[in-house]
Structure 1
């Protein structure tokens, strides 16, 4: 994947698990390290050739800034950062639950603010990155899309509530899938397999099944039906999952719980304005 050229300094404010995964992939894709600066209180190095500071560099105006801190840290970050940014700065936020209006209130000079919700497979270039912006310059939005395209599949949303819902599905979704893989492995051990072998088999099976689902025109439901012969072993297991819509209901209430928490976080950010 070819990286778009950076128009100037690119600051990563915070570099936790998600921002770190994004950075690692960008580095693998050949991003210009000389234009990168990670700003984190710990000052801990991230990669060879990438400048790491504990405070904003003086006398430098960033072309791009990505906010990768926890949402609760927004009011700690904004007062020092906002005066440095200008109308030409492109601001990207990956802070879950922080609405566009809350970002605009804290960074009023910035013309282009893009909310991004990536997920952890971005590290392999297999992520899903949802994007939302209610305005901004077309060239700036294109630059953000190019950066995110190196990380995986990019989806733009024109409606912020839909962006928020999509973020739950794809952002939190990997954690739910990891739990299911773990459950499959434990169940395999429970029916007689070696635990380590069951884990390997579950991981390989999910990888292959996901690749097949992405490649086929048939829906995942149809693919499951194709595997399940009448009266066979697969059908016996599907009957358990399908009874009273058990699996569908479980997944729905799981996503609803995460979405409620996202709304609570957005409300908390508004209250701190």
Structure 2
């Protein structure tokens, strides 16, 4: 196991995102017996994984851990706070993925936590292709930040924010962003059907096109604009379509409006 990984970790909330993170930690070498799951509504699949890997599930008493990862629903923080408090020792690193709960919120409700990292992963974490933005509180040491980076990096890329205030904008771009891409597939398929293709064929073509373009982005170091230019012949069909998409009232404006709306809502929810 990497020296950056903790010897003891408690995961509070083993739902979809918590479960994805757990699988990532096991994949990068964390030992199952060092992990404890705390979730009163744990799924059969998670219970089976815990039994297979030797993880404790909802034990009557849990010692303070090196790392506590808080992955419950945000609205459950107040209810869970007393139990979480008992898991936090003087040297515990708390990592929270609770949407809308600031470092200040967490410090107020969990005063035992001297070292807090607030993180915002996104849905592709479930296939190890996520991106997580993270902000470290003032009590986080360099070693703890490296540990958080290793744990969060098990489900994809990690971007550290110097300013926690950027998280609402992060939520609007990468947190909600997968839904924008899924809708792009829907819109492209609908446009293909309107152009005369059978609807099922248009759907398969749209889906495969976005899958392939995403893989090109993943494998290439080129900027997206360069990749776009590389597939655009002057005066060709792609150029004709891009004239529409890149027009003053086209996709850039629409995307700015969408991200701004998501950011406003994130601010309202965290206010």
| TM-score tier after normalising by the smaller chain length | 0.7 to 0.9
Of 119, 128, 131, the match for 1:128: 131
Other-structure match for 1:270? none
Q: Say whether the 8 Å CA contact 1:130–1:163 is kept in structure 2.
A: yes
Q: Say whether the 8 Å CA contact 1:87–1:110 is kept in structure 2.
A: yes
Q: Say whether the 8 Å CA contact 1:25–1:124 is kept in structure 2.
A: no
1:194 Cα shift? Answer: 4.1
Task: Kindly report which structure 2 residues correspond to 1:235-246, keeping only aligned pairs within 5 A, or say none.
Answer: 235-246=239-250
Q: Distance in 1 between matches of 2:243 and 2:183?
A: 21
Q: Say whether the 8 Å CA contact 2:96–2:118 is kept in structure 1.
A: yes
| Aligned CA distance change for structure 1 residues 3 and 16 (closer, same or farther; 3 Å) | farther
Q: SS of the residue aligned with 1:248?
A: helix
Of 50, 55, 73, the match for 1:70: 73
1:29 aligns with 2:28: yes
Of 249, 253, 260, the match for 1:256: 260
Q: Distance in 1 between matches of 2:76 and 2:116?
A: 18
TM-score by length of 1: 0.86
Residues 63-89 of structure 1: CA distance to partner in whole angstroms, max 9, x if unpaired?
211111121111111122214412211
1:221 Cα shift? Answer: 2.8
Residues 83-119 of structure 1: CA distance to partner in whole angstroms, max 9, x if unpaired?
4412211100001111111111111222210011111
Q: Distance in 1 between matches of 2:10 and 2:199?
A: 44
Q: Distance in 2 between matches of 1:68 and 1:141?
A: 18
| Aligned CA distance change for structure 1 residues 216 and 28 (closer, same or farther; 3 Å) | closer
Q: Say whether the 8 Å CA contact 2:5–2:150 is kept in structure 1.
A: no
Q: SS of the residue aligned with 1:132?
A: strand
Q: Say whether the 8 Å CA contact 2:5–2:151 is kept in structure 1.
A: no
Q: Distance in 2 between matches of 1:91 and 1:156?
A: 16
Task: Kindly report which structure 2 residues correspond to 1:108-257, keeping only aligned pairs within 5 A, or say none.
Answer: 108-135=111-138, 136-216=140-220, 218-257=222-261
Residues 134-180 of structure 1: CA distance to partner in whole angstroms, max 9, x if unpaired?
32121111111111222221111111112332233112111211111
Other-structure match for 2:57? 52
Q: Say whether the 8 Å CA contact 1:6–1:35 is kept in structure 2.
A: no
Residues 178-226 of structure 1: CA distance to partner in whole angstroms, max 9, x if unpaired?
1112222233333343444433332332232233335555532343233
Q: Distance in 1 between matches of 2:228 and 2:62?
A: 59
The gaps in structure 2 that reach 5 residues or longer are none
Counting matched residue pairs gives: 264
RMSD (Å), alpha carbons: 2.3
Residues 32-83 of structure 1: CA distance to partner in whole angstroms, max 9, x if unpaired?
1112222222132312334332xx6415222211111121111111122214
The gaps in structure 1 that reach 5 residues or longer are 268-273
Other-structure match for 2:19? 20
1:80 aligns with 2:83: yes
Q: Distance in 2 between matches of 1:69 and 1:59?
A: 18
Q: SS of the residue aligned with 1:78?
A: helix
Q: Which moved more, 1:168-177 or 1:98-107?
A: 168-177
Q: SS of the residue aligned with 1:102?
A: helix
Q: Which moved more, 1:16-25 or 1:129-138?
A: 16-25
